[in-house]
Structure 1
Amino acid sequence: MDVQIALMLAQDGLTNGAIYALLALALVLVFAVTRVIFIPQGEFVAYGALTLAMMQAGTVPATVWLLAGMGATAALIDGGLALRAGQPRKLVGVLGWNLGYPLGLAALLAALPVKDMPLAAQVLLALAVVVPMGPLMYRLVFQPIAAAPILILLIVSVAVHVAMVGLGLLFFGAEGQRTPAFSDANLELGPLMVSGQTIWVVMSSVVLIVGLYQFFERTLYGKALRATAINRAGARLMGISPSLAGKLTFFLAALIGALSGVLIAPITTIYYDTGFLIGLKGFVAAIIGGLASYPLAAVGAVLVGLLESFSSFWASAFKEVIVFTLIIPVLLWRSLTSRHVEEEE
């Protein structure tokens, strides 16, 4: 291995690490606020990328009908609760968001020449389809069992992952897809040639991480999520709605996942089940951070990306094994250095 090859591998590792950092941050956030180990995080990566690919192929993405089905179910539940509580005025908001938005979006996608629209508009429409699935998933699946033990939440999370993989095969088929790069420019740094898409991935990750930091530090909703993550019971006593915190957390997780999929779709072929491995690598990074520390999770993500990149050069057949083996010493170290704490009631 010479210096040029090492620099190319490091570039690939940092690019992958930037994506893993975003997913690790989402996993840490979801677990801290809701106690859910969010296994389907990777599926939002695949759904975001493949939804964009379907739009660029000139077809209405099937995910919009999944969004409509989830919205109709949520409208039925919340509408029934509103009528039972004697609050018919809430029906307008319930029906407008849960039914009006997905159906209006489907009509818009069918009417517009999405295939010929600028890439930025296509990306925004893909995010508009995939991201609202996050809060709807929390409302339908996790909110009714929010007080359940962590093991039950994990089992349900695995079930949701299996369902989303199956639906992905139904919606997108077994063939992989790629999307056009955001930029065809190349930047020459000495012996290293950096592609424009790599710059997009790294810069977008940095901007999103900084944006999330500002959100948690400076906004009321961000501070509410931080309070819920630190002490759920105390946050409830201060008037912070657990259901609102859960929906907002899943919204951010879906946004991070879908945007990550859009960013990596031009540099790797995305299949309906690709998100699982990507999400697992983000999970390894989150474990390095103890599912609690955002900076450690980000550092772990870069480490995972570099380890994967260099492993693909030295032992490409075993690169996944090497990456996932990293979790064993981390868990051993954490089990020896941390004390057992009973689960919060």
Structure 2
Amino acid sequence: MTTRSLLPARRPVPGVFVALAITWAIGWLVVLVDGGHLVNQSTTVSLLHVAAGLGFVAVGQTLVILGGSLDLSVAYVVSLSTLVAAETMAGRDSALLPAIGLTLLVSAGIGLLNGLLVTAGRINAFIATLGVGLLLKGYLDNGYAGPAGTTSPALVQTLGYQRVGPVPLAFLLLLLVAGACWFALARTRFGHHLLAVGGDEEVARLSGVRTHRVRVTAHVLCSLCAGIAGVYLASRLGSGAPRVGSEGLYDLESIAAVVIGGTALAGGRGGVVGTIGGVLLLAAIDAVFNQLAVDAFAKQVVRGVIIIAAVAVYARGTLRKVAG
């Protein structure tokens, strides 16, 4: 039996984009009735900036979930990455590349630790990554009372605020990262193995797939994506922020985007295209609510309803397949 024969059928996930279009149309109408304007350049730029920050994390989260795992440490990896980047740069353009390199190295190291705890340590991914996240939280809470470091002016100008028309450079970078992950999943051995491991780890192992190596690699890539998000947020804020990841709920929000995008929480089915749709949907809801001046509590209620509905739709579809 070949690895390709283990792969579940992968279908496009257009539903989330239909939901995005409907949400945007309804939002535009409600905002218009309220006397505002939703479709303008400033709103579009803001929406895409929000999508970029969450999108980097969600793309990485997609990889670990596809492999049948999970990462609850990403929010703290994001926060730590902003600090590593900003403190290393210390406002110097000359330190830009070394700072980015160090940030990604630290992020990859955390991902490696997560992967080894899940595979070699045989610890449930929820517990392992939550534990690593709490360790990082303890370090951040004890070591930093507020913002620290200064981001390179060149990074602020380019990644933080430069645009191509109404599209921020950061969002284009997100599309590049998502495209690379899509290619890896669809066209490389790693991608085929990752989907096989998420679909049925034991069958994949018996077919010769090095399941532990695949899952560790997925965790490293997930943390690298969180590190990229940290560099981006540092460019927006101009300094390191020890609470930006947890206050932004990047752990739960990224999982929500993945689920809304159609990726199965059990692993083995889904992809980054749907995740980008999920990210844009959450960002669109934010944009509409900001225009309507809706409070944060209501935003979270709506998000919760959307996530529950997405999981219910997935579960219902799964039950129909089993019954059929």
Which TM-score bucket, shorter chain as reference? 0.7 to 0.9
AA of the residue aligned to 2:241: Y
Paired position in structure 2 for 1:309? 287
Paired position in structure 1 for 2:308? 328
How far has the Cα of 1:236 moved from its partner? 0.9
Percent identity (aligned): 19
Paired position in structure 2 for 1:107? none
How far has the Cα of 1:259 moved from its partner? 0.6
Pair 1:238–1:15, CA change in 2 (3 A): same
AA of the residue aligned to 1:252: L
Q: Which whole-Å deviations, capped at 9, do the CAs of 1:62-92 have from their partners, x for residues lacking one?
A: xxxxxxxxxxxxxxxxxxxxxxxxxxxxxxx
Structure 1 runs not aligned, ≥5 long: 59-114
How far has the Cα of 1:305 moved from its partner? 1.0
How far has the Cα of 1:187 moved from its partner? 5.2
Pair 1:28–1:186, CA change in 2 (3 A): closer
Paired position in structure 1 for 2:135? 163
Given that residues 9 and 309 in structure 1 are in contact (C-alpha distance below 8 angstroms), is that contact kept between their aligned partners in structure 2?
yes
Quote the Cα distance in structure 2 between the aligned partners of 1:29 and 1:232: 15
Structure whose alpha-carbon radius of gyration is higher? 1
Q: Which whole-Å deviations, capped at 9, do the CAs of 1:320-343 have from their partners, x for residues lacking one?
A: 44434432333343444432999x
Out of 98, 110, 129, the residue aligned to residue 133 of structure 1 is 110
Out of 93, 99, 102, the residue aligned to residue 122 of structure 1 is 99
How far has the Cα of 1:40 moved from its partner? 0.9
Out of 108, 118, 138, the residue aligned to residue 142 of structure 1 is 118
Quote the Cα distance in structure 2 between the aligned partners of 1:313 and 1:263: 25
Pair 1:263–1:161, CA change in 2 (3 A): same
Given that residues 36 and 157 in structure 1 are in contact (C-alpha distance below 8 angstroms), is that contact kept between their aligned partners in structure 2?
no
Structure 1, 237-246 or 16-25: larger mean CA deviation: 16-25
Structure 1, 120-129 or 242-251: larger mean CA deviation: 120-129
AA of the residue aligned to 1:279: D
Quote the Cα distance in structure 1 between the aligned partners of 2:308 and 2:145: 33
How far has the Cα of 1:242 moved from its partner? 1.9
Q: Secondary structure at the match of 2:295?
A: helix
Given that residues 174 and 271 in structure 1 are in contact (C-alpha distance below 8 angstroms), is that contact kept between their aligned partners in structure 2?
no
Q: Secondary structure at the match of 2:242?
A: coil
Quote the Cα distance in structure 2 between the aligned partners of 1:213 and 1:301: 16
Given that residues 304 and 323 in structure 1 are in contact (C-alpha distance below 8 angstroms), is that contact kept between their aligned partners in structure 2?
yes
AA of the residue aligned to 2:227: A
Alignment of 1:81-230 (within 5 A): 115=92, 117-139=94-116, 141-146=117-122, 152-171=124-143, 173-177=144-148, 179=151, 180=153, 181-183=156-158, 189=165, 194=166, 199-230=168-199
* RMSD of equivalent CA atoms: 3.0
How far has the Cα of 1:211 moved from its partner? 1.3
Given that residues 161 and 169 in structure 2 are in contact (C-alpha distance below 8 angstroms), is that contact kept between their aligned partners in structure 1?
no
Quote the Cα distance in structure 2 between the aligned partners of 1:223 and 1:306: 32
AA of the residue aligned to 2:313: W
Structure 2 runs not aligned, ≥5 long: 1-34
Paired position in structure 1 for 2:235? 266
Out of 214, 230, 250, the residue aligned to residue 278 of structure 1 is 250
Alignment of 1:37-48 (within 5 A): 37-48=70-81
Paired position in structure 1 for 2:207? 238
Paired position in structure 2 for 1:8? 42
Given that residues 20 and 302 in structure 1 are in contact (C-alpha distance below 8 angstroms), is that contact kept between their aligned partners in structure 2?
no
Quote the Cα distance in structure 2 between the aligned partners of 1:328 and 1:219: 33
Give TM-score, length-normalised by structure 2. 0.72
Give TM-score, length-normalised by structure 1. 0.68
Given that residues 216 and 223 in structure 1 are in contact (C-alpha distance below 8 angstroms), is that contact kept between their aligned partners in structure 2?
yes
How far has the Cα of 1:223 moved from its partner? 3.1
Pair 1:316–1:220, CA change in 2 (3 A): same
Q: Secondary structure at the match of 1:298?
A: helix
Q: Which whole-Å deviations, capped at 9, do the CAs of 1:104-150 have from their partners, x for residues lacking one?
A: xxxxxxxxxxx5624233212321232222112321x222453x6xx
Pair 1:321–1:266, CA change in 2 (3 A): farther
Quote the Cα distance in structure 2 between the aligned partners of 1:22 and 1:155: 23
Given that residues 234 and 241 in structure 2 are in contact (C-alpha distance below 8 angstroms), is that contact kept between their aligned partners in structure 1?
no
Pair 1:244–1:2, CA change in 2 (3 A): same
